[in-house]
Amino acid sequence: MLIDTYGRVATDLRVSLTDRCNLRCTYCMPEEGLQWLAKPDLLTDDEIVRLIDIAVSSLGIEEVRFTGGEPLLRPGLVGIVERVAALTPRPRMSLTTNGIGLGRTATALEAAGLDRVNVSLDTLRPDVFKTLTRRDRHRDVLDGLRAAHDAGLTPVKVNTVLMPGLNDDEAPDLLAWALEHDYELRFIEQMPLDAQHGWKRDDMVTAGDILASLRTRFDLTPEGQDERGAAPAERWLVDGGPQRVGVIASVTRPFCAACDRTRLTADGQIRTCLFAREETDLREALRSGAPDEEIARRWRLAMWGKKAGAGLDDPSFVQPDRPMSAIGG
């Protein structure tokens, strides 16, 4: 079991498979990209599967989410999914992706054992997409979403970040589109995880702003805490349900007290939080021949020291050194 001093138990593992991405979203990284990890620093496919095996067999992990950067850029992704699906106990598996390439891989991922996907899409307007991502790939993302739905990787969840002056007027249109296509839309407040350190709280589109905009067109009924559990998204029934919309208010309404996550970076570091400034190195333990029991012990120790919260409401908050693309959002 992965328990911390506040009594929280981690059952959800986020695994970053690469720090690379084929988009350059303005809220994540600079236009020229970042200094990527060298290949020898990345965990191998075997190392990733071994760590996940330890997590599910010895540490109580029940769900695995593959992230990046962009996880579809990982050459061995389908094989990793297939091997994790064969573990005992078998964890639930999902993937967070920008959707580019999903049109080619959705069927193979479902056959390998992937359960569902989260796809990032911030706008319905191709010109705004190009401004936000610095790439002209809007159609590829829409095609990827359709392929995921057709392959049965459901519920397909769409993650959206609203930016002032760019797409902050699109919330109702995005929800209408998601309802039409049977996607579950989730708005995410912009977090201070950009490589440029340009995030400003005063410029952020808040959960309150998003809900006020949605209510100009839809009737929203809170789903309630009992249904939410440890999920990061607060959800509302739309026009009486059964369809829902979610808002992840990481900054204005943090959910740290219910957090059930542990994170593994692409280079084998354990992070207890997206905003943590400390890491625990499991790659060194793997490559020095440590047995599974020792790796599990180090993982437990790392999680025991998890802080009470992210500290975003603290005026002295200092942004983590790693951008979101290197942590696995």
The tens digit of pLDDT for each residue in 125-141 reads 999 999 999 999 999 99
**Per-residue model confidence (pLDDT) at position 315:** 47
Strand partners, 120: 159
Residue-wise pLDDT for 150-173, tens only, equals: 999 999 999 999 999 999 999 999
Residue-wise pLDDT for 178-226, tens only, equals: 999 999 999 999 876 645 555 456 668 999 999 999 999 999 999 976 6
**Per-residue model confidence (pLDDT) at position 322:** 53
Q: What is 279-324 written as a DSSP string? A: -EE-HHHHHTT--HHHHHHHHHHHHHT--S---TTSTT----SS-H
**pTM, rounded to two decimals:** 0.90
How distant, in Å, are the alpha carbons of 132, 161, 200, 329 from that of 193?
16, 13, 11, 9
Mean pLDDT of 72-92: 97
* Nearest alpha carbon to residue 45 among 63, 71, 22: 71
Give the residue, 217 or 35, on which the prediction is more confident. Answer: 217
How distant, in Å, are the alpha carbons of 52, 263, 288 from that of 141?
29, 26, 41
**Per-residue model confidence (pLDDT) at position 23:** 86
Environment class of 228 (CB within 10 Å of its CB; exposed 0-12, middle 13-18, buried 19+): middle
**Per-residue model confidence (pLDDT) at position 254:** 81
- Reported confidence tier of residue 51, pLDDT bands at 50, 70, 90: very high
- Reported confidence tier of residue 277, pLDDT bands at 50, 70, 90: confident
Residue 69 pLDDT greater than 60, yes or no: yes
Give the residue, 200 or 251, on which the prediction is more confident. Answer: 251
**Per-residue model confidence (pLDDT) at position 158:** 98
- Reported confidence tier of residue 310, pLDDT bands at 50, 70, 90: low
**Per-residue model confidence (pLDDT) at position 324:** 52
Rounded to a whole number of angstroms, the distance between the first and last alpha carbons of the chain is 23
